[in-house]
Amino acid sequence: MQTWDMDLTFGRNFGAGGGVLSDGIWADDDAPHPTNPLVSPSHPLFGDSNHRKWDDLWNRLIHYCHDDPQIRQMYFRRLRTLADKLLADGRYEARIDELVSRIGPEAVLDVAKWGQYGTPQSLETAVNILKNDYLAVRRIHLLTTHRVPGEIPEAQSTHPKIVINEIMYHAATSADHEFIELYNPSLTEAVDISGWRLDGVALNFPAGSVVLPNDFLLVVRNDVEFRASYGTGKFVAADYTGNLDDSGELLRLRPGRAMAVDGHLPPRGTPKQLADRHAEALSEDVPEGAVHRADGCGVHRTTHPERVAVHLLPVVFDFGRIFAHQV
């Protein structure tokens, strides 16, 4: 299935060439209007008050999303992911060539029946315009022109390091207060984890799940209950079904590549026992790479390699905690 929006896809625009029924295509026109500099149909931030339609309209929801620095950074990372996928060299071209071989006879009949608006074009001419005047130009505009600090980033690292950072698996009040927190230890790279899978809770991360640099992303048992208990201002990407197994289980974060990050839930004690053990372990000075046990509570200092498999009782990482009690 290909993206399609009636007559306004692949560079078509109301203002390009004098209306919808025209031959105009905009692929890299960030300021085409002769008198209104805010008209910016080709800009990646198109739709907000600073990047408007030809008729000076803009969308307030888009505007306020773009106006938030964190949401804007997440959007740019997701845009880069989609551009690398959908605008990959030859992807659309191959599909166009496949369709042309099928629709050629129909195109002749269509022109004979309905005629054409604008300058008459053969199917071959129209295809070449689509390939050369839109797709090729659009790739450069998004992946080169707007690949600047504060806008579209470089391609995502091949093996980004995302950490299973904190697990609340035995909340003191209700299973609806369970959560799993991921952490991105990179100080510079936002990571798109759309389509990644978290085994143990059978969760596929929805499109648009981006973990900002040095920041967190949560998946929760119940979003409403989570926010009521822990407050707002946290990025909850999704709810998961079922409960975390209090008797211990494996949580595995699976990217779309041959790497994984594992986290093991420990056997359960009483909330007070685990809280006391956790506090005692945290009070100890544990060197990096060492493991300390305090009555069943372990502290593991790690630099978060690409694959972490830890078989301990409650574990504390440099960047996070596994809790079995209410916080």
Q: 239, 221 in Cβ contact below 8 A? A: yes
Question: Which of 157-161, 278-282, 289-293 has the weakest average pLDDT?
Answer: 289-293
- Average pLDDT on 277-303 reads 34
The Cα 9–Cα 6 span in angstroms is: 7
Could you tell me the residue ranges of all domains in the chain?
1-155, 163-323
Percent of the chain with pLDDT over 90: 59
pLDDT digits (tens, 9 = 90+) for 5-38: 555 678 888 778 767 777 888 999 999 999 999 9
How confident is the model at residue 23, as a pLDDT?
83
Q: 190, 77 in Cβ contact below 8 A? A: yes
How confident is the model at residue 214, as a pLDDT?
97
Q: 172, 271 in Cβ contact below 8 A? A: yes
Q: Return the CATH class of domain 163-323.
A: mainly beta
pTM of the full structure? 0.77
- Average pLDDT on 36-55 reads 95
Q: 268, 227 in Cβ contact below 8 A? A: no
- Average pLDDT on 300-315 reads 35
Q: Is 70 exceeded by the pLDDT of residue 294?
A: no
Q: Is 50 exceeded by the pLDDT of residue 324?
A: no
Average pLDDT, the chain: 80
Residue corresponding to tokens 């053990």: 277
pLDDT digits (tens, 9 = 90+) for 231-251: 988 999 999 987 788 778 889
